[in-house]
Amino acid sequence: MNMSLALPSGILKIWEQVKTALDVVRPDETALQLPAPEEDLVSLCEILLARREENAGVKLVAEILDKYQSFSEEGRCRFLNAMADNFGPDLARLDTAVLAYQASPDDLAYRELQAAVEPRRQRLIRLLNFAPQGTFKIVQMRADAIRIRNRIPRFAQLDSDFVHIFRSWFNRGFLVLKQIDWSSPAQVLAKIIHYEAVHDIKDWSDLQSRIDPEDRRCFAFFHPQIPDEPLIFIEVALTLDVPSTIESLLTNKRAVIRGSEARTAVFYSISNCNIGLRGIPFGNFLVKHVVEVLQRELPALQTFVTLSPLPGFAAWLAKERKGTADALISAEEGLQLTAIDNEDWHSDAATVESIRPVLLAATARYLLRAKDEFGLPPDPVARFHLGNGARLNRINLLGDVSPRGMRQAQGFMVNYLYDLKTIETNQEAIAVDGTIDSSAAVRDLLRVGGKAARAKRTAAATA
């Protein structure tokens, strides 16, 4: 088809994306050979798509999802590949719609163009949601696709359609924030134990110590269609000041304070609960919503901070120590850091003090200067909080000396500060040009020793 005719603004771009960037194929060009069960399921999907939405039929959509769930991993893989290959846009319809809009860009032609551009699998996903528990089952379908993504050549296109649908299904307006406490349903509490991803919950007693005391809170987002499945949850410690170690929050030997006595709310664990919702940004709303809830409940609270892990730091530091041309760690600093090759280095006070300045400098550079391919912090937790408008407030040496904390972050933890007055400004700054809001104390760490060490050296030189 000759596409040299002038199209209205944006239409040519859409067309090129569909024809080229999306790399879709016409259904009759696909020669996917499916075993009978998967082929039958594809046929049922075609029957469903041929119906008007109001006539989709709960029985048919339920049958499709039930059949899919009965498949082995191999069967699910074949069906997901068929879904990726055979349910893109109908290019014949799209050809006609583009020509019709060129000839007469009226409302009817515009609506047809919109419908033709949409991949058929987006409509399929929406129709499958009519089934009982359809939302949860479709989320699990995406989780399957993510787990076997290397076996789905067109995974990016398939996943893009899942994400497009889920962003509307799981937007902030549909989510319900609930406090989780010891009176919450047992099945919900069991899932909190199971899904905790930052600091393992060992047993029911450990869970009770995190959600039952007066100075502890836990909140989760739920979706009305999945009422017993927390989507994401956050654990909060109410304290007198800003903590520097996770042990101070998790120990059973701490003194419990009344909520009204607390001046600081510490967000020390945020866990996503379903791989099928990976990349859906409801976590961005969670912290800010919880801040607002706590401010109403406990108006004496003055500070809202995290005590966060730094899961990418150890791997980054190991790479930087190899001394590449663009490394943020000098050769001399790398030599000083050989001490951390002893896995028990953190247990020796003299070793800790000798490498403290260079370790703190390396951590500050990782957070403030290292960038990923998009110009953002490479650490996923830092990227989340800084992108969410928080300030990089403090870096804590030996904040988490558990095996996981040492393996992932050489024991470092970070306090990110949430100030509702600056959140939007900070979000805009990092989104526009990568600017990170940080405290003067953190910026001072970029140079080994910082101001305190330089002052000490000056005093010694003039003595």
Q: How far apart are the first and last CA of the chain?
A: 85
User: How many Cα atoms within 13 Å fall on the side-chain side of residue 210?
Assistant: 28
Per-residue pLDDT for the chain (463 aa), expressed as one digit of tens each?
Answer: 444 344 454 555 554 554 444 444 444 434 445 566 678 899 999 999 988 766 667 899 999 999 999 999 999 999 999 999 999 888 888 889 899 999 998 999 899 888 888 899 999 999 999 999 999 999 999 999 999 999 999 999 999 999 999 999 999 899 999 999 999 999 999 999 999 999 999 999 999 999 999 999 999 999 999 999 999 999 999 999 999 999 999 998 999 999 999 999 999 999 999 999 999 988 888 999 999 999 999 999 999 999 999 999 999 999 999 877 678 999 999 999 999 999 999 999 999 999 999 999 999 999 999 999 988 999 999 999 999 999 999 999 999 999 999 999 999 999 999 998 999 999 999 999 999 999 999 999 998 755 544 444 333 322 3
According to CATH, the superfamily of the domain at 11-169 is Malonyl-CoA decarboxylase, oligemerization domain (1.20.140.90)
Distance CA(201)–CA(233), nearest Å, equals: 14
- CATH fold of 173-306: Aminopeptidase (3.40.630)
Angle, CA of 116, 122 and 124, to the nearest 5°? 105
**Residues 82, 88, 91, 92, Cα dihedral to 10°:** 60
CATH class of 309-462: alpha beta
Tokens of 436: 């990170």
Q: Are 64 and 26 in contact (CB under 8 A)?
A: no
The predicted structure's pLDDT at residue 325? 67
Distance CA(272)–CA(286), nearest Å, equals: 11
The predicted structure's pLDDT at residue 117? 82
Using alpha carbons, select from 441, 440, 436, 314 the residue that is nearest to residue 375. 436
Per domain, the residue ranges of the chain are 11-169, 173-306, 309-462
Distance CA(333)–CA(90), nearest Å, equals: 59
The predicted structure's pLDDT at residue 34? 57
- Pairing verdict, β 303-306 and 264-272: parallel
Distances from the Cα of 167 to the Cα of 55, 87, 175, angstroms:
25, 20, 12
Q: Phi-psi category of 71—alpha, beta or left, where left has phi over 0 and alpha has psi -120 to 50?
A: beta
**Residues 96, 101, 106, 110, Cα dihedral to 10°:** 70
* Amino acid in position 292: E
388 CB burial (10 A radius; 0-12, 13-18, 19+): buried
The predicted structure's pLDDT at residue 327? 86
Q: What is the pTM of this model?
A: 0.83
Angle, CA of 414, 417 and 422, to the nearest 5°? 145
Distances from the Cα of 310 to the Cα of 123, 131, 422, angstroms:
40, 41, 23
* Residues 6 or more apart in contact with residue 188 via CB below 8 angstroms: 180, 220, 228, 230
Whether 173-306 shares its CATH topology with 309-462 is answered yes
According to DSSP H, which parts of 298-348 are helical?
313-320, 331-336
Distance CA(175)–CA(57), nearest Å, equals: 27
